[in-house]
Chains A and B, each alone.
Chain A
Amino acid sequence: MIPTIPQSRTVRIVYGGYVALFFLYLALPLTVVAVFAFNDSQFPSLPWEGFTWNWFFGDTRPQIGVFHERGILGAVGTSAFVAACVAVLSVAVGTTNAFLFNRYDFRGKGLLYVLMLLPLVIPGIVLGISILVFSSTLANGIWDLAQMDIQALRPGLLLVILGQFSFITTIATLVISARLQKFDRTLEEAALNLGADRLTAVRTITLPFLAPAMIGAVVVAFLMSFENFNTTLMLVGSDAPLTIAMFDRLKEGSTPLLNAVSLLLMLGSSLLALMMILFQRRS
């Protein structure tokens, strides 16, 4: 069934209707979350009590808006900090990985490549608990040896960052490798012939070529880290990132405050995604 082959009217209408229904299904949950952020009521549900901005800007009980709610703002800050660390780390390691797999042939390369892909097929919860177990083994070992308690190895932000880094690096590697494969190596050789040393050639020729992929990887890594739930859940300490903080509140019962946070999240991430798409189209 393709446009050049005539089909009966009913078939076309039914098919089009099905696709329309599908997009309705996609849009429905996000739309209701957005709409009820403006409901002037304690609950994000019907009846509709009128339009209000209070869940964003309100500063009096019971309607304290996002911008006056310390807990949520703090969690956003924590998430942004974690996401920035994860993005920088995973893109750095992703870049070295891309060079390694693209430029060198060595024994065990195939095996290492499969190992590199592995974090994608390990469930996030399992990644989380394995890192939790190992870090606590380390911490206990250090305690037994030297009577030192290393707080950083207990559940907390460092472990959250490492846990997210452990699988986001695979994605960064794939994104950057894909671009590096398209690179014309004669350009680098030309730079070497013109008297540049290897490092200068890579720095002035190859890295600028890779920049769009690296920036894309930074954005993807940032978003994935910001939204990560499963791995974070197992490694979180007292400073909860936004997804965990929202989850805790959702369990207690929800107010339109959560809708307002969600709407801001949606706007923020679509803005980032859009910027990335535009940026990549230009280059």
Chain B
Amino acid sequence: MRNQSRVAFYLLLMPLVLWLGLLIIIPHIDMLLISLRERVSFGVYDRSLAQYEKALTEPLYLRTFARTAVMSVLATAITLLIAFPVAYYIAKMARGRLQQVLFLLCLIPFYVSELVRTFGWMILLRETGIVSNLLQWAGLADQPVEMLYTDATMMVGLVYTSMLFMVVPLVTTLESLDDSVIEAGYDLGGSGLSVLREIIIPHAMPGIVSGCIVVFMLSLGNYLTPTMLGGKDSLWFTEMIYNQFIVRSNWELGAAFGFMLLVLSSVIVWGMLRLTGRTLKETMG
């Protein structure tokens, strides 16, 4: 029996090890090694930090890196601000059928490809688009208005794309908050604001943290939205990775960029977990 169970254990361990080893761990080590080399001549490479030096001294690269990070944080904050009242409404104000329907409605856009969602925003906001026509019809503009290719449009798209990943964890945590606790807060003389600050938000913290982590990751790693909705100035870091790999075939620099993105996202996720004293296992699992 013991022997049989050992065999079963190794049989179950094997797919996991193969999957993580061959598709996650070794490829990332290989990517790190490639980013740490420099082409000397045809087929000859030297170990060097040249790629990172280039990435950290070239103003365009550095600015894009910082911009992507800041804009992603901003997108996360906006998503949280917009989603929280809605999640609270679904969890605490709506009842019965309405609650279920509203929750399902939030899920629908997620089942539609990101490409389709982005395409929808393009139809709405382009120069010949719906919003531009609407503005002209209402007399608010006397010529077609181009609303695509700006940072604001890109932000609308980013927030839209990741909204669901904020609403769902928030609804789940807020639902577990007992109404009587909120009533008690009011009974003890709390105002709406102090109940929100001292009861609701602390209770919703796990949901806020996991929502923020996922939304931040999705924004940082997004390629479609910045490419399709953002302007010439709103270059995203993922676009630079793509350019180095596919357009310029400069894999060494591209790999270095990839690693920088990975480190940035890990540091921020780790920082968020650290600030709130939670673990990755609790948040994602």
Residues of A within 8 A of B (CB): 1-5, 15, 18-19, 22-23, 25-33, 36, 43-46, 92-93, 96-97, 99-100, 103-104, 106, 110, 112-127, 129-134, 137, 162-163, 165-166, 169, 174, 198, 223, 226-227, 229-230, 233-234, 243, 246-247, 250, 254, 258-259, 262, 265-266, 269-270, 272-273
Contacts and interface: CB of A to CB of B under 8 A. Distances in A.
B124 A96 contact: no
B285 A174 contact: yes
A265 B112 contact: yes
Contacts of B281: 110, 113-114, 117
Nearest to B125: A29
Contacts of B16: 93, 96-97, 100, 112, 116
Given A19-B86, A97-B15, A133-B27, A123 B124 contact: no
Contacts of A114: 280-281
B95 A30 contact: no
A126 B261 contact: yes
A43 B160 CA distance: 24
Given A116-B20, A125-B242, A106 B119 contact: no
Interface in B58-100: 82, 85-86, 88-89, 92-93, 95
A120 B284 contact: yes
Given A22-B86, A130-B30, A230-B238, A33 B23 contact: no
Interface stretch (B49-57, B146-154, B216-224): B216-224
Contact of A19 (B89, B121, B228): B89
Given A113-B285, A123-B261, A230-B238, A5 B186 contact: yes
Given A106-B9, A169-B19, A29 B124 contact: yes
Interface string B251-271: 100110010011001100100
Nearest to A33: B120
A224 B82 CA distance: 25
Q: Chain B interface secondary structure, helix, strand, loop or mixed? A: helix
Contacts of A115: 20, 24-25
Contacts of A22: 82, 86
A121 B27 contact: no
Of the four ranges (under 10, 10 to 19, 20 to 34, 35 or more), the interface on chain B belongs to: 35 or more
A67 B163 CA distance: 33
Contacts of B112: 30, 227, 262, 265-266, 269-270
Contacts of A265: 112-113, 116
Nearest to A230: B223
Nearest to B16: A97
Contact of B119 (A5, A137, A258): A258
B8 interface: yes
B9 A104 contact: yes
Given A104-B9, A230-B238, A131 B262 contact: no
Given A100-B13, A116-B20, A126-B261, A250 B115 contact: yes
B115 A247 contact: yes
A3 B95 contact: yes
Contacts of B82: 22
